[in-house]
Amino acid sequence: MKKNVGSADKIVRIVLGLGLLSLLFLLEAPMKYFGLIGIVPLFTALMGWCPLYTLLGMNTCKVKA
């Protein structure tokens, strides 16, 4: 798995993931479980690899010369 998530992209994913996970505490059942979607951006940010970016041929990492 070649890294394809850059540092700015990681920050956005972490903020988005934590925001979605906060829905677990803010909403009432059954709507609060939509907050579990926040695991996906957190996981991709921590791994530095996004499977959707691979399929689309995208890369937000800076290339070292």
- Output the pLDDT for position 8: 96
Residue 45 lies in a domain: yes
Cα radius of gyration rounded to whole Å, the chain:
14
Residue 2 lies in a domain: no
- Output the pLDDT for position 3: 92
Total domains in the chain come to 1
Residue 63 lies in a domain: no
- Output the pLDDT for position 62: 85
- Output the pLDDT for position 52: 96
Residue 52, domain extent = 7-56
One digit per residue, the tens of pLDDT, for the chain of length 65 reads 889 999 999 999 999 999 999 999 999 999 999 999 999 999 999 999 999 999 999 999 987 65
- The number of CA neighbours under 13 Å toward the Cβ of 49 is 7
Question: Could you give the CA distance from residue 38 to residue 49 in angstroms, rounded to a whole number?
Answer: 16
- Output the pLDDT for position 65: 52
